[in-house]
Amino acid sequence: MRRILHVDLNAFYASVEEAKDESLKGKAIAVAGDKDKRNGIILTASYEARKFGIRTGMTIQEARNLCPNIIFIKPHFKDYMDYSNRVMDILRDYTPDVEVFSIDEAWLDVTGCERLFGDAKKIADTIRERIKGNLR
């Protein structure tokens, strides 16, 4: 039986911003375009912001109406690519069979890796801890 892990880095842009600036942790933040350039929509929101109903694709004004204290951050795509590459490198430490689907999502086939790293659940847990520990 094949063992395939799915990695999905939820709220990825917001998580990267929190990793770069620890003062943002625990706050309602949203990565959003520039409202003055007419591309002012939410690209992602932290879990704290999501509690207020903030969702991807929502306008900045809609988000502000739901959460007046929300912190808006302009996107830093170069940083997101850097963090994504670092995550994908971690995944490749466990198997060469990594299929990258997007900047924040991948599948990896860990079939046959059990002797080196443990069962699929152990590999997933180890990867999760490495990502949390190494990408701050």
Query: Rounded to an integer, what is the distance from CA 82 to the centroid of its chain?
Result: 12
Catalytic residue, from 22, 105, 114, 129: name it: 105
Q: For the chain, give me the number of helices (H) and strands (E)? A: 6, 6
Residue 120 and residue 108 in contact, taking contact as beta carbons nearer than 8 Å: no
Residue 54 and residue 12 in contact, taking contact as beta carbons nearer than 8 Å: no
- Residue 105 appears among annotated catalytic residues: yes
Nearest to 9 by CA among 64, 66, 81, 87: 87
Residues annotated as catalytic are 105
